[in-house]
Amino acid sequence: MEKKKIGILFGGNSPEYEVSLESAYSVITNINKEKYDITLIGITREGNWYKYEGQIENIKNNTWEKEGKCTKILISTNTKDKGIIEIENKTKLIKLDAILPVLHGSNGEDGTVQGLIALSGIPLIGCNTLSSSLCMDKHLSHKLVESYGIKVAKSIVINNKTNKNDTLERLKKLKYPLFVKPMRAGSSFGITKVENEDEIQGAIEEALKYDTEIIIEENIEGIEIGCAILGNEELTVGEIDEIELSKGFFNYTEKYTLKTSKIHVPARIEKRTSDEAKETAKKIYKILKCKDFARVDMFLTPKGDIYFNEINTIPGFTSHSRYPSMMKQIGIDFKQLLDKLISLEI
């Protein structure tokens, strides 16, 4: 049987560039090479696209761009091509059966790349343009999910032109502690937990480094739980996980080092509560029109109430990341997970 040709995108013009390299390295080293012919497409921090043909280890250690085995490419928007075009020396078309973006954050998980792939006619593995963009916007995704009767934290939205006094006046409707977040950023970049009004301005300035819009929301007392979902019409749901924090919140450092936190899979909650969380996650997945795979993050209060937090349309994808770990708990190992994911589109 002829191998299917899969393009794997990695890197990206995003603060989460390094996270993408780690995820992509795991995907590349675990994908079934007997079934799939892989074309590696690296995107630099500056947003330049290359076909990469060097050592895989150089992706992990972030020296791939310096290796000299990079060829400038572009994605053909001629749907008859269904591929990428080398544009150095002599042009060459490389056809692809599907593209898997292993990108995180802005310019990779927010619908921009997904829109470009849609124009090419190449099947996209993962959420489409609408879903990616909607899930990336914390305010819009919250409002839509809330309209279906699912709880979300109370919040306000401001931007880089909002008057300071106006902000403080609107914040009187909320209770401290509060979380100040960039509207469209991942991996907890730019997020600050504030305990009082004196800390607000500094937190706003930090969030504005990552976006021109900011959401400020109330803290939800309880634990953070997650749910991995795979599929479209028929959904495969991984085991619920739980983030145990010893202090602070699950920021960028904790997500990738677990210095003072721990992830429990399965979560240390009753089966009845776990089942309810899974059903809520599936409902959110469908409300936000997710496709192929995503991780739904929620809060569980001491009273047993479930609050929607956010959806990661391209969650961390190393072998020890939360999404694969949740799937492993139901008998799907990392290699099987990749195979099942690709089979959804080809």
Is the domain of 143 the same as that of 256?
yes
Q: What is the pLDDT of residue 214?
A: 95
C-alpha distances in Å from residue 255, one per residue of 86, 151, 225, 281: 37, 25, 13, 21
Is the domain of 144 the same as that of 256?
yes
H-state helical runs in 288-333: 322-328
- Measuring CA to CA, which residue among 217, 208, 206, 137 is closest to residue 173? 217
Q: What is the pLDDT of residue 15?
A: 87
What does the pLDDT look like over 12-56, one tens digit per residue? 999 899 999 999 999 999 999 999 999 999 999 999 999 999 999
Is the domain of 225 the same as that of 209?
no
Return the sign of the alpha-carbon dihedral for residues 283, 289, 290, 291: positive
Max Cα–Cα distance, the chain, nearest Å: 66
Q: What is the pLDDT of residue 254?
A: 46
Rounded Cα gap, residues 155 and 258, in angstroms: 28
Q: What is the CATH number of the domain that holds 245?
A: 3.30.470.20
Residue spans of the chain under pLDDT 50: 250-257
Q: How many domains would you assign to the chain?
A: 3
| Beta strand 49-52 pairing with 235-237 | unpaired
Q: What is the pLDDT of residue 247?
A: 57
- Measuring CA to CA, which residue among 334, 5, 313 is closest to residue 133? 313
Q: What is the pLDDT of residue 245?
A: 78
Q: What is the CATH number of the domain that holds 207?
A: 3.30.1490.20
What does the pLDDT look like over 160-182, one tens digit per residue? 999 999 999 999 999 999 999 99
The answer to pTM > 0.85 is yes
Is the domain of 99 the same as that of 235?
no
Is the domain of 144 the same as that of 293?
yes
Rounded to 5 degrees, φ, ψ at 315 are: -70, 165
Please tell me the total number of residues recorded for the chain in this structure: 346
Query: What are the residues whose beta carbons fall under 8 Å from the beta carbon of 46, sequence distance 6 or more?
Result: 13
Q: What is the CATH number of the domain that holds 34?
A: 3.40.50.20
E strands, 271-317, in order: 292-300, 306-312
Is the domain of 238 the same as that of 333?
yes
Contacts 24+ apart (CB under 8 A), 275-280: 276/306, 277/225, 277/227, 277/240, 277/306, 278/227, 278/237, 278/240, 280/150, 280/306, 280/308
Is the domain of 259 the same as that of 301?
yes
**Residue 88: domain span:** 4-125
Is the domain of 237 the same as that of 297?
yes
Q: In what order do the strands lie in the sheet with 155-159?
A: 155-159, 213-218, 178-182, 192-194
